[in-house]
Structure 1
């Protein structure tokens, strides 16, 4: 290599630099030996520097070279100092070659600068992100604008190979290329061929007599190649994964009482083509031990009986490391919740190998009681500290509580303003009883201003202008202004909600809306409505997870029918005797939310129960009950199970409305033709008499099912009762007063490396019915399929493909369904 040879040459010059120049010094008459204590004269082969000249420096200034040069004017220079100077200048990393010469009493320093990196390019990397690689390369010194060092580039090559080896990619190739440019610059290109990861073909345990290999390795991250490996990637070998699996192997036996268990040997073999891995572990099981005694010692802080209730290990039980750790964690957590942040529990076992028993002494070391000095927020550039601080359950100046700190983190995640929330509790310097609590957040989009288009199979093309902000001006208020138009809907709306109308967490909101809705384009019965509404909503927190809401509103709903409107709807309107329905309505709701995240929950439950009623004096008096339920189960880091259900029921209260109507003919005029009109019979002939009744839940408040938000695979809103007539031979969906839907969904959160997208496999079922008397479980429909939900920058996108599993003749099937621009 060029660089080491130049260094050897430079060092050789350092020792020989005195040859011609130093000889001239030797010819000069020697100075008289001075008296003791006075400066000595230069020895033969050295000289006193009168000046220093720097040659060859371009980007590096002469002053910088002089700063690092350990020689100044007036110094006496000999071969040893020359060697020290060359080494000092090389150590700076700025120079590729250094040479020292003498011209008379002038020291001439000639340097050849290392080139600057003009451009750094990475190609072929997929497993390792470019931004992560660029950051790590910069730490090593390989970055645009930095001085190029060939040794650093060699180090990068080795580190990259090691990184890919740790990911099981032993065929990875790292090929750096350096292109020389003018003005002493270079372009550096690092071409990466990652290759394919070596797959684990066989895992073999030797010495397991009590348990099968399948049971032992069931929780391992390193597994033999299987049909799910394309998703789990559990067949890819890495040293870290194997170390963790061997720890799981040790825990497996210790949890079952095998105190003397040991892993005697491990062997990892790789095939000649570096594509297949073979793992072997030799173990000794030993014998099962039981617990002979459990004792608690140390300063328990709390009464001893309180601590004893947290002990899961009991005398006579088979020894279990898992239960012992659960006991230690329980005691530690209990103490940490009352201020002892550094509490420890040291389990001290006394093993009797003759009797095969273990005596456990739980030594409690509480440490100092810790106070929280201050709570700090980082990363919230748009959101004010006040919005975050009001979600805190840990307060400044109070005793440390791990449970309160963790709950505060969850509440921040539930706001929906942040992509990630991390918390640290650094100790206050110089103290042993104070900590700070630091929450670091990464903000995400909490609102949008949209002027654009959306499309769904149900609504067709949608044009909209919408300003929606869940964190308005960073104060946590929710504001929305909307104007939209689609095939079946024209809507204008404004809403505002202050989630902290009072310091205690009471919320207050207002909703104003006006809409024209054509149900004939909504896959439902043929009629249209014009609706105006105003509402006020009050929310009151009951507990950390529970809240109640109270809504009061007024609205006006005008119904317009057509020749194709089902007769049952026409009769209902005629029975009321008015096409405009006025309502004073109120709603009482209860909700419980224990989910751990706003966008992508992996555990927790959401429930909501609501009762809506129109008050006496409304055109129609009725009520609606609705219950929603969702529960998330974290089966593994790569798999989440969601179970959900929605139940709805509605009916009228008070007496039914009945009218006797007769048809009369209205004579033609100069501007209209003759037409039939339905009026109260009175003294009119009875030949055209008919009796109409309005009872039950009004048709315009019916529940609907089918489509992307209930039972996928069936066309939106088409399940349930239908009206048949000569206009619509296939029937018009009417909806129903009873709704029963449910879903079981397997979510794969790790399939995409993004919190904004997720893929799931689902099973949906449900239907709507006309009253409880008509409910029939045999009429429930069911479907199964896969779905993609993506919170894209241009708007949320939902795509599903479903196969109806349970259907009937006449059902409207729609396997591929999608929405763009609507909510999830």
Structure 2
């Protein structure tokens, strides 16, 4: 049962006030020979003696008795304190306040329990502490205030206290949050230069709209509105209106009688526009004075409109330039001199470089699997060298590009006792870097995949890549071994080996009906050119056995085999590629570009001579903190060179083997990266051919043109392991250059989700073809997954 705390406190106060006069009237002042404390349960007598201002040998009178009672009440330990006398013994009678055994919260959804408990602790309500009934009133007021700030004005806070044995209590705080009030209208008053839409374009608070059920941007929040008013102030300051007045005092929030609807009115005064009159630099610039001044004038320059954003950018630019040469704590303080008569601002940038800082140590944390040296070799900020923010930023990107970590943080920590040294704390959160499959895997292209494979991009934490696979699906049997050491040499050269054998049934791969059996081996060498650029070279040998089915295999493939005169194709091949990677993250990039241009050529003594050119582009644009645009292009071209096979068959037909071999053709359609046009069945776009039995089958082509525009929503799902996107895919493959027609391109639009789940990567997409032709095979929902570790 809950008691009204106010009446109880009044009673306690009266008891305390009346106890001293009664004590003083009944007993004359006396000298204390001893002090006894009665009524203690949990609190020790020593604690009472610590706070009691009367000791053995003191004389008790009305004044110091009142002081003693007040001192004990002030501790917060007691509900009641009385003094009495037994002879020359002073008796202190106390009633302890109960201890809080447990605090329970029910009904809170909008505010997390950890946040609530933190607030209760600040008020003085925590498990194990002494219970003060006055704190219940403070709890009700504080929680009501917090919910009101979140737009919930119908909230009900009902604290219930349950008495337990041994002078303990349980406190239950029951919350009925109610519905949040919705913003029905926002009105800006006083704006003549800009429209309401322009001013509120980047506000978080919005009027109720058709997406508000998801975004919840129509729910009022005091903190959110304060942030929006700051954005409004910044909007004017960035355009030179330094006298613009946008303050909470000019803003009114009206609520409807039922506390369900809110109406916001923001008033402002625009003022006049100011320009920059002069830009000067003072202080110890370290770098040449004219260079600093030139750098500042890239952002704020004389006769240009004043902009606070430009001012901040100039500050950051100069501070960054100094931090790159060791001045980690450099500061730039712009001092404005406003001339309101001429409506101009003179700016003096005062530069304070601070001490030049040396990095003492680089310490890694969170890499439980990955060895320190794997992280250290990616660091561009070295121990014992001058601090460089550019080197630190580049180090962070290189660590992110490894793909081993969900999160990378680098903090500078001053070394105690020095002003010119810092330690770098590199904190990482490891993610799954390998894939393991044992009978786990499914795709719509290959169906259930029975396989056993191990693929690890960070083998035993060494940073080496290892893959061993034994796979079997409806279209493939494969055994392979791959190994890559990305730091074969200290300067970053990589060396890799690849050996594999496979049997491939193309008829179950949505392509022409023929089979191949192949064994191959190659070696690869990677050479870094710059921080972003590299060249890769490979040399290998393969032996491919092709099986065709006369009557079922497309005639063009049968003719190619007959012209060459063999079904066994030996190939010595070499390839060279150039790659440039400026992406900020391997797993979920938000900015930067990946480009790769490759050439593969078969060498002399190969059965057929051909080459393949391939170009890939993926460029990420951060449109905002909530949107990232990825533009993708994938272009491929292949052709033969040198000898051409021509043969006259027994039926008199002349067949010729020219162009890129059919088994190297490009395919498009489906979810595979090589030919991604989602919404169409895998590998079914492009040229087709009939067999002698009349079966029309996809045969691929020697030219591939694939593109995509994909808009990612990084914050739509609050997980670094998941990403949602909306996309537009387009492309096709063509038989040769003469058959390229833009009118033949297919296109689809849809949504997709990629999730690195604990079971493995899961990819799901739903696409609707927006440009299709009769005979195209449509598959709107497409997905695949595999096990991961």
TM-score (norm 2): 0.88
Aligned counterpart, 2:33: 48
Secondary structure of 2:205's match?
Answer: coil
Structure 2 Cα separation of the partners of residues 482 and 183 of structure 1: 66
Aligned counterpart, 2:741: 776
Structure 2 Cα separation of the partners of residues 168 and 642 of structure 1: 37
- Whether the aligned pair in 2 keeps the contact of 1:736 and 1:769 (CA below 8 Å) is yes
Is 72-81 or 279-288 further displaced after alignment?
72-81
Aligned counterpart, 1:580: 568
Is 105-114 or 635-644 further displaced after alignment?
105-114
| Residue in structure 2 matching 1:540, options 527, 530, 533 | 527
Cα 1:465–1:804 shift into 2, 3 Å: same
Cα 1:576–1:303 shift into 2, 3 Å: same
* Cα displacement (A) at 1:573: 2.5
* Cα displacement (A) at 1:582: 2.7
1:362-511 aligned at under 5 Å gives the runs: 362-511=349-498
Establish whether residue 201 from structure 1 lines up as the match of residue 184 from structure 2: yes
Establish whether residue 695 from structure 1 lines up as the match of residue 683 from structure 2: no
Secondary structure of 2:701's match?
Answer: coil
| Residue in structure 1 matching 2:601, options 613, 628, 642 | 613
Is 757-766 or 83-92 further displaced after alignment?
83-92
- Whether the aligned pair in 2 keeps the contact of 1:788 and 1:799 (CA below 8 Å) is yes
Structure 1 Cα separation of the partners of residues 74 and 399 of structure 2: 49
Structure 2 Cα separation of the partners of residues 217 and 101 of structure 1: 70
Aligned counterpart, 1:521: 508
Cα 1:131–1:727 shift into 2, 3 Å: farther
Aligned counterpart, 1:819: 784
| Residue in structure 2 matching 1:211, options 194, 197, 203 | 194
- Whether the aligned pair in 2 keeps the contact of 1:118 and 1:185 (CA below 8 Å) is no
- Whether the aligned pair in 2 keeps the contact of 1:705 and 1:719 (CA below 8 Å) is yes
Establish whether residue 246 from structure 1 lines up as the match of residue 229 from structure 2: yes
Establish whether residue 708 from structure 1 lines up as the match of residue 692 from structure 2: no
* Cα displacement (A) at 1:793: 1.4
Establish whether residue 170 from structure 1 lines up as the match of residue 158 from structure 2: no
Q: What 5-or-longer segments of structure 1 have no aligned partner?
A: 27-42, 663-687
Aligned counterpart, 2:689: 723
* Cα displacement (A) at 1:523: 0.8
Structure 2 Cα separation of the partners of residues 263 and 497 of structure 1: 60
Establish whether residue 324 from structure 1 lines up as the match of residue 273 from structure 2: no
- Whether the aligned pair in 1 keeps the contact of 2:727 and 2:751 (CA below 8 Å) is yes
Establish whether residue 117 from structure 1 lines up as the match of residue 104 from structure 2: no
Cα 1:22–1:267 shift into 2, 3 Å: closer
Cα 1:514–1:101 shift into 2, 3 Å: farther
Secondary structure of 1:426's match?
Answer: strand
Aligned counterpart, 1:30: none
The C-alpha deviation readout for 1:392-438, integer Å capped at 9, x for no partner, is: 22222222222222222222222222222233323333333333322
The C-alpha deviation readout for 1:83-111, integer Å capped at 9, x for no partner, is: 77777777777777777777775967766
* Cα displacement (A) at 1:390: 1.9
Establish whether residue 808 from structure 1 lines up as the match of residue 773 from structure 2: yes
Structure 1 Cα separation of the partners of residues 59 and 558 of structure 2: 113
Structure 1 Cα separation of the partners of residues 477 and 610 of structure 2: 26
* Cα displacement (A) at 1:741: 0.8
Q: Which has the higher contact order (CA 8 A, sep 6+)?
A: 2
The C-alpha deviation readout for 1:95-136, integer Å capped at 9, x for no partner, is: 7777777777596776656355357454441x4445555666
* Cα displacement (A) at 1:345: 2.5
Structure 2 Cα separation of the partners of residues 82 and 555 of structure 1: 103
Structure 1 Cα separation of the partners of residues 611 and 195 of structure 2: 60
Structure 1 Cα separation of the partners of residues 455 and 508 of structure 2: 27
Aligned counterpart, 1:571: 559
Q: CA RMSD in A?
A: 3.5
Aligned counterpart, 1:626: 614
Establish whether residue 292 from structure 1 lines up as the match of residue 292 from structure 2: no
Cα 1:25–1:158 shift into 2, 3 Å: closer
Aligned counterpart, 1:274: 259
Structure 2 Cα separation of the partners of residues 587 and 81 of structure 1: 97
Structure 2 Cα separation of the partners of residues 460 and 447 of structure 1: 22
| Residue in structure 2 matching 1:763, options 728, 752, 776 | 728
* Cα displacement (A) at 1:237: 2.9
Q: What 5-or-longer segments of structure 2 have no aligned partner?
A: none
Establish whether residue 236 from structure 1 lines up as the match of residue 214 from structure 2: no
Structure 1 Cα separation of the partners of residues 86 and 486 of structure 2: 82
Structure 1 Cα separation of the partners of residues 507 and 452 of structure 2: 24
Establish whether residue 656 from structure 1 lines up as the match of residue 644 from structure 2: yes
Secondary structure of 1:707's match?
Answer: coil
* Cα displacement (A) at 1:82: 7.5
- Whether the aligned pair in 1 keeps the contact of 2:37 and 2:45 (CA below 8 Å) is no
The C-alpha deviation readout for 1:327-361, integer Å capped at 9, x for no partner, is: 23222221221122222323233333333333222
* Cα displacement (A) at 1:699: 1.3
What count of residue pairs does the alignment treat as equivalent? 776
* Cα displacement (A) at 1:522: 1.0
The C-alpha deviation readout for 1:583-628, integer Å capped at 9, x for no partner, is: 2222222222222222222222111222222222223322211111
* Cα displacement (A) at 1:657: 1.7
Secondary structure of 2:400's match?
Answer: helix
Cα 1:240–1:465 shift into 2, 3 Å: same
Structure 2 Cα separation of the partners of residues 789 and 23 of structure 1: 84
Structure 1 Cα separation of the partners of residues 332 and 283 of structure 2: 9
- Whether the aligned pair in 1 keeps the contact of 2:555 and 2:690 (CA below 8 Å) is no
Structure 2 Cα separation of the partners of residues 185 and 209 of structure 1: 64
The C-alpha deviation readout for 1:343-384, integer Å capped at 9, x for no partner, is: 232323333333333322223222222222322333333333
* Cα displacement (A) at 1:524: 0.8
Aligned counterpart, 2:719: 754
* Cα displacement (A) at 1:765: 0.5
- Whether the aligned pair in 2 keeps the contact of 1:14 and 1:82 (CA below 8 Å) is no
- Whether the aligned pair in 1 keeps the contact of 2:455 and 2:466 (CA below 8 Å) is yes
- Whether the aligned pair in 2 keeps the contact of 1:488 and 1:518 (CA below 8 Å) is yes
| Residue in structure 2 matching 1:258, options 241, 247, 252 | 241
Cα 1:6–1:197 shift into 2, 3 Å: closer
- Whether the aligned pair in 2 keeps the contact of 1:119 and 1:186 (CA below 8 Å) is no
- Whether the aligned pair in 2 keeps the contact of 1:231 and 1:751 (CA below 8 Å) is no
The C-alpha deviation readout for 1:644-669, integer Å capped at 9, x for no partner, is: 1111111222111223343xxxxxxx
- Whether the aligned pair in 2 keeps the contact of 1:6 and 1:97 (CA below 8 Å) is no
The C-alpha deviation readout for 1:439-466, integer Å capped at 9, x for no partner, is: 3333333335443422221111123333
Secondary structure of 2:566's match?
Answer: coil
Structure 1 Cα separation of the partners of residues 366 and 332 of structure 2: 35
The C-alpha deviation readout for 1:506-554, integer Å capped at 9, x for no partner, is: 2223333332221111111112222333333322222122222222333
Aligned counterpart, 2:209: 226
